[in-house]
Amino acid sequence: MPINVRIPSPLMKLTNNQGEVSAEGKNIGEVLSDLERQYPGIRERLYDENGSLRRFINIYKNEEDIRFLDGESTPTKDGDEISIIPAIAGGSIKNVRF
């Protein structure tokens, strides 16, 4: 069940310079774990030492911030698009390019 994940340019070093990758999982947390399995090192960029998602990393499911869905428990399904966006970019993801 592949889910499309968009990677911001500062993290593309970890994904062999791919701006979009596929991952699997029934929710956001699982998708991010699958990312770490495929691209070791990405997890510590997304999570702090306490295992919480970093405050200035925004994760969107189909353009909705997961903080206003169910966070990491937000369910994911085939065809969903997940975007990882550093907060410095600001605002809705539609206009953000890296």
Partner 1 sequence: MGFVKGLQCKECKRSYAKKPIHVCEFCFGPLEIVYDYEGIKEAISRDSIEAGPKSIWRYRELLPIDGEPTVGKHVGFTPLLRGENLGKVLGLTNLYIKNDSVNHPTLSFKDRVVSVAVTKAKEFGYDTVACASTGNLANSVAAHAAEAGLKSYIFIPSDLESGKVLGTLIYGTTLVGVRGNYDDVNRLCSEIAANYKWAFVNITIRPYYGDGSKTFGYEIAEQLGWRAPDHIIVPVAGSSLITKVWMALKEFEQLGLIDTVKTKIYAAQATGCSPVTTAIKNGAEFIKPVKPHTIAKSIAIGNPADGYYGIKTVVESGGYGEDVSDEEIVEGMKLLARTEGIFTETAGGVTVSVTKKLIEQGRIKRDDLTVISITGNGLKTQEAVENSIGELTVIDPRIGSFQKTFNIEEEK
Total residues binding partner 1 (CB under 8 A): 20
| CA–CA distance, 91 with 1 (Å, rounded to integer) | 29
Per rule CB under 8 A, is residue 41 in the interface with partner 1?
A: no
Nearer to partner 1, 29 or 86 (CB): 86
User: Smallest gap, in angstroms, from Cβ of residue 28 to partner 1?
Assistant: 16
| CA–CA distance, 28 with 39 (Å, rounded to integer) | 16
Task: Give CA 38 to chain center in angstroms.
Answer: 13
User: Smallest gap, in angstroms, from Cβ of residue 21 to partner 1?
Assistant: 19
- 37 and 29 in contact (C-beta within 8 Å)? no
User: Smallest gap, in angstroms, from Cβ of residue 55 to partner 1?
Assistant: 6
Nearest to 98 by CA among 14, 42, 20: 20
Per rule CB under 8 A, is residue 13 in the interface with partner 1?
A: no
Query: Which positions lie near partner 1, rule CB under 8 A?
Result: 10, 45, 48, 54-57, 65, 67-68, 86-92, 95-97
